[in-house]
Each structure stands twice: as structure tokens, then as C-alpha cells.
């Protein structure tokens, strides 16, 4: 008995970082990309908690390089200058207020941790940083951390330019600069301790976990060493012994020496094949059709369900950054997007993240969106605009708020309701009409063919009258018809 108990305990500990720590019955998170902390706090209270969202992924909270004042690209936030908590999203006081208020309503916060690198190697005179900390990228000095030249990897990098040139070369991908970003020497105890100090500071404030940015560009053992020094979550909101949820950004679309499975020991990984394949199916590219989704999940070569963080699009591939973006569906393709997100939220595979974006002036030249750098809706002084809520519950100021679209919000609730129920009663027409249930709790049907769908299906639900929460809204005992 004693041995068995001990064994269970150890296994439990090792799995802890795969657990999102969401409240029971809350099964998804939403990425509020580039939102201000003040707006996220309000959104937790007025919308996310009442609608069963489990948490929010936030943009990197630490100090970064300011680029191209006043037209600031979103991607400046992936160029750290220090671990001080001030960015365009807000200062430390606002950050603490957000975490406290979201936690108090049971919506937890997941921070984007940019720990592979600091800012680009050419930044220097003429550039400043979001908290005003001094730095010099040319001499690799970041006194606000502090880091200096010997905390970086350049000596270990074997590429000609010092940048990553060949993704088939595993040590180049991990030891050289990703697009010239100064690459931290994570095998050094000193560097590890600065990073764990930062992450533990966030844990003490009350965050529930981390997206590990550019995990592919760090040695799995180095990431592990950092994670092993992390504290348990804050006892004010989390049970004793709760570990931060970890999901690592590894883009593994196949064909490279760096694979998702190398990172399973550290926590979950972002399954990029998921959105790429689902987009291909919904667009009917390469002869794909929805009928083939019958064995969606591991059957499609994805990582094991309990190691996967899944999403239809993310902040990179929705605008042509990162890898494998061509088939990706986004809010710009609203109808197909709602179907894809609906499918993701209805299907039991993986832990689900919903994207919430802002509109930007997309402008294609030779197939490339030359405006894919454009930062969040902002005022003339470069500060980020707030997220006003319209009377019809949509968002103003060019914030898209996909998470507030009825179909997506209701499917987030659907996923909570069917949590733990088996994938059941699959039906397809051999083409693009499919349907399936989740035990006796929910049922969903899709028609992505160009003709009507008129079939009698076994749903597995108890006899009764049900509301279609995609086309309508359940109001008391009736289901309201509506626009789309
Ligand atoms: C450019 C050239 C370099 C040159 C340099 C000289 O490309 O070859 O050496 O100038 O100064 C930006 C610019 C990029 C510029 C670079 C350095 O886009 O043109 O280099 O800065 O100044 C985001 C953006 C990047 C951006 C970066 C830092 O996507 O474009 O780079 O932020 O501001 C791979 C990785 C994966 C990564 C993905 C985008 O495996 O890890 O690419 N995804 C994550 C984030 C992503 C972020 C980073 C990693 C970096 O999700 O948003 O990149 O933190 O697939
Ligand atoms: Ca690296």
C-alpha cells in the first residue's frame, strides 16, 4: 500500500506541468493577443468567467525594445530588454491587478515567456525600451537583468552569418541567432537563475503557467533545468503542490531533426500540424474532405492528446509569420473559421486555445502581406487602444474578439458541458457533411458541401428538444433564431 501510494504520488508530480490548472469544468483558454492588462481584467470579470473560459494567454509581460516609434510592430514584444514588468499592455501595478482580478473569478493567466533570446543584435543608439532601461545590443549588455557578452551563445554558433541558416542542423537551430535575436547561453547556471527568478516572480504574483516561446531553439535539457527551479503556484488561488502549466512552442510539421517528442518531458507542446491540417480539410485542398476527420487526433500523426496544446491559428501563422501558414484559417475567412473552431472545440483531442485578434490593413504583394508587422490598434502616441464593448456585445476599435462570436463562445461552453464524454456516433456522407456526439451530452453536425444536408442521425442524446447553439441562442426554454 505504502509503495503504491508513493508511486502514484511520483507519477502525479511528473505529470503536473501538463495540467492547465483551470477550474473544474473549464476546458479552454483564449489568447488575448496584445490586449492591455486593464482590458483583460475587465474581460475576465464581465465575459470570460460568466462564459466558462478557463484562462487567458497574455502577450509577453516583460520589458522590450521599442521599434519604429510611433508605428510600432507587434513583434517588438519578442525582443526582451529586461524582465521588468512594463510593456505597451501596462505596468507592474496594472499587471498585478489583472492577475488578482482574473484569478478571483477563476480565470487563470498564462504568460508568454520569451527566454531563448534578448533583442536583435543591431539594436542600439536610437532605440529605447518600454521601461526605459539602458541596454546595448552591439556589446550585448543588458544591465537591468544584468546580462553581459558571456551570457550569449555566439561562440557556440557554427553558421556563417551567426543566424540560423539551416533548420536541418539541430545545433544551429539551438545555438545560433533566430532572425538575429541575441541567443542566451541557457546551459549557464547564471542565465538559468535570472530566468527562473523572472518566472518565479510571475508565479508569486499568481500566474498559472507559461507558453515557452521558441522552445525549439533551446535544448530540451536546458528548458528542463529552468522548469525544475520553478515554485509551486500561489496558495491564495491554487491547491498545495500545484505546478505551473507548461506548453512549449515547438513547430514540428515533419521533416526536421527537432521534433515535438524531444520536449514531452517538460510539458505540453503546441501541435502545429493541427491547424495546418484542419485548414487544408476545410478548404478542401489536396483532395481532403471532412469525412476523413473520423480518426482526427493521434490517427493523423499528431502528438498524444494529453501532451497537445491545440489551436486553429496563432498570432504568427494568422499573418504569415512562422512556418506552415498557407492553409491556416483565420477570422478573415469567417465562415470556414467558425466551422474549424467549432470542430476543434467539439472534438476531445488536446487542450484547446481560442485566438482573439485585432484587424490590420492586410495588403498582399506577390502573395505576401506587407502589413503583417502592424501592431495593435493604437493612438498617435503609440499607446495601445482600449477594447470598448458595443451594445451588441462585439468589440470596437478594430479588436476582432473572435472569442465573443456566438458560435465560438457557445462551443467553448459546449466543450465544458461534454468534458470527459467519449467521441461517439460519428456519421459522414463520404464527403464534407459530418456529425458526431460526445456521449449523451452533446451532438454537432457540419455541412461543408455545396448542397443541403437532410439526414436522420443517431445522436446518443436522451429524447427531447434541443437548442442549436451554433445557429441560435438558448434563452430560457426557447432557442432564438438569428442572422447567420
Ligand atoms: C531581420 C532579418 C534577419 C537579420 C535581422 C538584422 O530577418 O535575418 O539578421 O533583420 O537586424 C523580427 C523581424 C525580422 C528581424 C528580427 C530581428 O521580423 O525581420 O530580422 O526581428 O530584428 C516574432 C516575429 C519575428 C520577429 C521576432 C522578434 O515573428 O518576425 O523578428 O518576433 O521581434 C520560427 C521559430 C518560432 C517563431 C517563428 C516566428 O521556430 O519560434 O519563427 N515563433 C515565436 C513567436 C514569434 C516571435 C518569436 C518566436 C521570437 O511566436 O512571434 O517572432 O521570439 O518558426
Ligand atoms: Ca537558442
What predicted TM-score, i.e. pTM, was given to this entire model?
0.96
| Ligand 1 atom closest to the CA of 121, numbered from 1 | 11
Of 213, 252, 288, 402, the catalytic one is 213
- pLDDT at position 390 is 98
Question: 90 CA to middle of ligand 2, Å?
Answer: 28
Please name which ligand lies nearest the alpha carbon of 156.
2
Active-site annotation holds for 92: no
Q: Can you give the pLDDT at residue 69?
A: 66
Going by CA atoms, what residue is nearest to atom 36 of ligand 1? 214
Handedness of CA 260, 55, 119, 229 (dihedral sign): negative
Q: For residue range 220-242, list pLDDT tens digits in order.
A: 999 999 999 999 999 999 999 99
When pLDDT is averaged across residues 351-380 and rounded to a whole number, the result is 96
- Closest listed residue to residue 322, CA positions, set 312, 311, 330, 314: 314
Task: Give the environment of ion ligand 2: residues with CB less than 5 A.
Answer: 116, 174, 183, 217
Distance CA 79, CA 119 (A): 4
Question: What contacts 439, CB < 8 A, 6 or more positions away?
Answer: 418, 421, 422, 424, 460
Q: How far is the CA of 460 from the centre of ligand 2 (A)?
A: 50
249 as an active site residue: the answer is: yes
> Residues lining ligand 1, judged by CB closer than 6 Å?
75-76, 78-79, 114, 120, 122, 163, 178-181, 213-214, 216, 249, 251, 316, 321-323
pLDDT tens per residue, range 237-265: 999 999 999 999 999 999 999 999 999 99
Write down the pLDDT at residue 75: 98
Residue of higher predicted confidence among 3 and 115 = 115
Nearest CA to ligand 1 atom 37: 322
CA distances from 74 to 91, 98, 248, 369 (A): 17, 21, 20, 15
Residue 8: pLDDT above 60?
Answer: no
Q: How far, rounded to the nearest angstrom, does the alpha carbon of residue 121 sit from its chain's CA centroid?
A: 27
Q: Which atom of ligand 1 is nearest to the CA of 216?
A: 40
Quote the ligand 1 centre to 99 CA distance (angstroms): 28
Label residues 122-150 b or e (16+ Cβ within 10 Å = b). Answer: ebeeebebbbebebebeebbbebbebeee
Q: How many CB atoms lie under 10 A from the CB of residue 107?
A: 29
CA 415, CA 423: separation in Å to the nearest integer? 12
Which residues are CB-neighbours of 231 under 8 A, at least 6 positions away? Answer: 200, 203, 204
The model's pLDDT over 121-170, given as tens digits with 9 standing for 90+, comes to 998 767 899 999 999 999 999 999 999 999 999 999 999 999 999 999 99
Structure confidence at residue 482 as a pLDDT band (50, 70, 90): low
Tens-digit pLDDT profile for residues 95-120: 999 999 999 999 999 999 999 999 99
56-92 confidence digits (pLDDT tens) = 999 999 999 999 866 899 999 999 999 999 999 999 9
Q: Rounded to the nearest whole angstrom, what is the distance from the C-alpha of residue 179 to the centroid of ligand 1? A: 5
Amino acid at each position: 500500500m505504502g509503495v503504491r501510494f508513493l508511486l502514484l504520488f511520483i507519477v502525479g508530480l511528473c505529470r503536473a506541468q501538463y495540467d492547465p490548472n483551470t477550474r473544474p469544468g473549464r476546458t479552454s483558454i483564449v489568447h488575448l493577443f496584445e490586449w492591455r492588462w486593464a482590458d483583460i481584467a475587465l474581460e475576465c470579470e464581465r465575459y470570460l468567467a460568466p462564459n466558462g473560459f478557463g484562462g487567458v494567454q497574455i502577450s509577453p509581460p516583460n520589458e522590450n525594445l521599442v521599434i519604429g516609434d510611433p508605428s510600432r510592430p507587434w513583434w517588438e514584444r519578442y525582443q526582451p530588454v529586461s524582465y521588468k514588468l512594463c510593456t505597451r499592455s501596462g505596468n507592474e501595478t496594472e499587471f498585478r491587478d489583472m492577475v488578482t482580478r482574473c484569478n478571483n473569478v477563476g480565470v487563470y493567466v498564462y504568460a508568454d515567456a520569451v527566454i531563448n533570446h534578448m533583442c536583435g543584435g543591431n539594436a542600439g543608439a536610437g532605440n529605447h525600451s518600454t521601461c526605459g532601461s539602458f541596454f546595448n545590443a552591439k556589446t550585448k549588455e543588458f544591465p537591468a537583468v544584468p546580462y553581459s557578452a558571456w551570457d550569449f551563445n555566439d561562440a557556440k554558433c557554427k553558421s556563417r552569418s551567426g543566424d540560423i541558416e539551416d533548420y536541418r542542423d539541430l545545433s544551429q537551430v539551438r545555438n545560433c541567432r533566430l532572425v538575429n535575436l541575441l541567443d542566451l547561453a541557457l546551459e549557464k547556471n547564471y542565465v538559468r537563475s535570472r530566468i527562473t527568478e523572472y518566472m518565479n516572480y510571475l508565479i508569486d504574483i499568481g500566474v498559472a503557467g507559461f507558453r515557452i516561446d521558441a522552445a525549439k531553439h533551446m535544448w530540451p535539457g536546458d528548458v528542463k533545468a529552468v522548469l525544475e527551479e520553478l515554485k509551486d503556484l500561489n496558495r491564495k488561488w491554487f491547491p498545495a503542490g500545484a505546478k505551473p502549466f507548461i506548453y512549449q512552442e515547438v513547430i514540428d510539421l515533419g521533416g526536421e531533426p527537432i521534433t515535438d517528442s524531444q520536449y514531452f518531458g517538460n510539458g505540453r507542446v503546441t501541435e502545429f500540424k493541427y491547424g495546418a491540417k484542419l485548414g487544408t480539410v476545410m478548404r478542401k485542398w489536396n483532395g481532403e474532405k471532412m469525412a476523413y476527420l473520423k480518426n482526427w487526433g493521434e490517427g493523423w500523426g499528431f502528438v498524444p492528446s494529453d501532451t497537445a496544446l491545440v489551436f486553429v491559428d496563432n498570432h504568427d501563422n494568422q499573418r504569415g509569420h512562422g512556418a506552415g501558414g498557407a492553409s491556416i484559417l483565420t477570422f478573415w475567412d469567417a465562415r470556414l473559421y467558425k466551422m474549424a473552431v467549432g470542430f476543434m472545440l467539439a472534438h476531445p483531442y488536446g487542450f484547446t486555445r481560442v485566438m482573439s485578434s485585432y484587424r490590420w490593413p492586410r495588403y498582399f504583394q506577390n502573395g505576401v502581406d506587407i502589413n503583417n508587422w502592424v501592431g495593435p490598434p493604437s493612438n498617435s502616441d503609440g499607446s495601445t487602444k482600449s477594447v470598448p464593448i458595443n451594445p451588441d456585445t462585439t468589440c470596437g476599435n478594430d479588436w476582432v474578439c473572435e472569442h465573443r462570436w456566438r458560435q465560438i463562445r457557445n462551443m467553448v461552453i459546449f466543450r465544458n458541458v461534454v468534458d470527459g464524454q467519449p467521441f461517439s456516433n460519428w456519421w459522414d456522407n463520404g464527403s464534407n457533411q459530418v456529425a458526431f456526439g460526445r456521449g449523451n451530452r452533446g451532438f454537432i453536425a457540419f455541412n461543408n458541401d455545396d448542397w443541403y444536408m437532410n439526414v436522420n442521425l443517431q445522436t446518443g442524446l436522451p429524447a427531447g428538444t434541443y437548442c442549436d447553439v451554433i445557429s441560435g441562442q438558448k434563452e430560457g426554454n426557447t432557442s432564438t433564431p438569428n442572422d447567420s
